[in-house]
Amino acid sequence: MKIHEYQAKDILRGYGIPVPRGGVAEIPEMARKIAEGMEGKPIVVKAQIHAGGRGKGGGVRMVRTPPEAEKAAKEILGMTLITHQTGPEGRLVRKVLVEEGLQIDKELYFSMLPDRASAGIVVMASEAGGMDIEEVAAKTPEKIIKVQVNPLLGLQPYHTRQLAFGLNFDGELMKSFSAMVKNLFQLFCDYDCSLLEINPLVITADKKLVALDAKINFDDNALFRHKDILAYRDLDEEDPLEVEASNYNLNYIKMDGNIGNMVNGAGLAMATMDLIKLAGAEPANFLDVGGGASAEMVENGFRIILSDPNVKGVLINIFGGILRCDVLAQGVVEAANKVGIQVPVVIRMEGTNVEKGRQILEESGLNLIVAKNLKDAAQKVATLAKG
Ligand code: GDP
Ligand code: MN
């Protein structure tokens, strides 16, 4: 799960990490009020969306006075902000963060994330922080210092020293950096984070370290034990179909293609998407209804797929193990009757009660195409969706 920058900064504050003072506003007048509390300091107005690259997209503005902050907020609120992370459709801005603007001496990069290769946590830092970190990683990866932390042993002082030396820190900066990294690591573990990124982490003109930006992502599978984080969820930032699917415990991710597909099992779903591509078409979604799906879950999954206007054909691929083929067929027929199908639907199923399942589909009177095997199914749906 993703959260907004202002929410991430609230969490950072709780762990003693210095962040600029500020507040969040949903209307321009509120932005002016917050700016009035800054006692003549410069003011930064920042769009709050679940995507980075806001600076380059025009979503971060520096101003001098409270009326200017109000004006900047008026321009940013309601704008569709397009950044390299939002895709061409952009994201509607509903909130701005209004902060005291700081005098920046240097912008650094800092992040932590689980590293699958080493089954540990990788902590990264770079002197080349700011808005072009992707380019730094691609062209001059040696400028990014990485340390691997064994999660069972935890962060050790030598890890922090290695990072601090790489950043050319000494004296006071070294001290405050060490304390900061220790606290960030604690936060990362306490909250089962899947990403913690501070870019930029700045050294101010008076030589203080401050987290100027903050991005924290959480492992969805651990959210049941973090009710405080769940309260930060912003459904406006999520795809409406994905939100609906999550209400039914369906693993659904919307994609750009036009072949909807419903599969039981994540591995089978991946293989099905590969075969759709191999047949020359593009999947419109990933949907794993799960091994033990009920007829109701199948019905909901099918309805969600069909409510995506991009979908021009559907492939249902089920291996009936725990989910029996007759239960699947029942779910598909019920959903088809309720929603009404406007696009070709190809079904491939094998496994428990497959004969009974086929019989239910045939007797339904619905125009469902039963495929011989998986390859045949993928080719059929790709051809039908084109025509
Ligand atoms: P992002 O583009 O979405 O990552 O948004 P950031 O929060 O990282 O802001 C982008 C850039 O705005 C930063 O890299 C800074 O250069 C600049 N910026 C943000 N806040 C301040 C500030 O208080 N003072 C100054 N001088 N620049 C700031
Ligand atoms: Mn940033």
Q: What is the pLDDT of residue 158?
A: 97
What six digits make up the tokens of 172? 């006071």
How crowded is residue 119: how many other Cβ atoms within 10 Å of its Cβ?
Answer: 10
Angle, in degrees to the nearest 10, between helices 157-166 and 171-190: 130
> Which letter does DSSP use for residue 248 in this model?
T
User: How many H helices and E strands in the chain?
Assistant: 14, 18
82 backbone dihedrals φ, ψ, rounded to 5°? -110, 120
What six digits make up the tokens of 269? 């779903």
Q: Does residue 40 sit in helix, strand or coil?
A: coil
Q: What is the pLDDT of residue 263?
A: 92
Q: What is the pLDDT of residue 87?
A: 84
Going from N- to C-terminal start, the domains of the chain cover 1-20+103-237, 21-101, 239-386
3-state secondary structure 144-179: EEEEEECCCCCCCHHHHHHHHHHCCCCHHHHHHHHH
Best residue for ligand 1 mutational test, from 2, 12, 43, 44 (most atoms within 8 Å of Cβ):
44
Q: Which residues line ligand 1 (CB under 6 A)?
A: 20, 44, 46, 52-55, 60, 101-102, 104, 107, 130-131, 199-200, 212-213
Q: What is the pLDDT of residue 2?
A: 97
* CA 122 to centroid of ligand 1, rounded, Å: 24
202 backbone dihedrals φ, ψ, rounded to 5°? -110, 150
Range list of β-strands (E), 185-225: 193-204, 209-211, 215-218
- Among all chains, which residue has been given the structure tokens 């799906």? 293
Per-residue pLDDT for the chain (387 aa), expressed as one digit of tens each?
A: 999 999 999 999 999 999 999 999 999 999 999 999 998 899 999 999 999 999 999 999 999 999 999 999 999 999 999 999 998 889 999 999 999 999 999 999 999 999 999 999 999 999 999 878 989 999 999 999 999 999 999 999 999 999 999 999 988 999 999 999 999 999 999 999 999 999 999 999 999 999 999 999 999 999 999 999 999 999 999 989 999 998 998 989 999 999 999 998 899 999 999 999 999 999 999 999 887 778 788 889 999 999 899 999 999 998 888 888 998 898 889 888 888 888 999 999 999 999 999 999 999 988 899 898 999 999 999 999 987
Q: What is the pLDDT of residue 108?
A: 97
Compute, in degrees rounded to 10, the torsion defined by CA atoms 300, 303, 305, 307.
-140
CATH class, domain 21-101, is: alpha beta
Query: Which fold is adopted by the domain 1-20+103-237?
Result: D-amino Acid Aminotransferase; Chain A, domain 1 (3.30.470)
DSSP string, 71-93: HHHHHHTT-EE--TTT-TT-EE-
Q: What is the pLDDT of residue 277?
A: 97
* CATH H-level superfamily of 239-386: Succinyl-CoA synthetase domains (3.40.50.261)
* CA 50 to centroid of ligand 1, rounded, Å: 16
Q: Clarify whether 197 is annotated catalytic.
A: yes
Q: What is the pLDDT of residue 33?
A: 98
* CA 293 to centroid of ligand 2, rounded, Å: 41
Q: Clarify whether 70 is annotated catalytic.
A: no
Beta 259-263 vs 313-320: how paired, if at all? parallel
* CA 64 to centroid of ligand 1, rounded, Å: 15
How crowded is residue 239: how many other Cβ atoms within 10 Å of its Cβ?
Answer: 13
Give residue 206's Cα distance to chain centre: 35
Catalytic residue among 5, 70, 99, 197: 197
How crowded is residue 124: how many other Cβ atoms within 10 Å of its Cβ?
Answer: 19
Q: What is the pLDDT of residue 44?
A: 98
Closest Cα to atom 8 of ligand 1: 213
101 backbone dihedrals φ, ψ, rounded to 5°? -80, 135
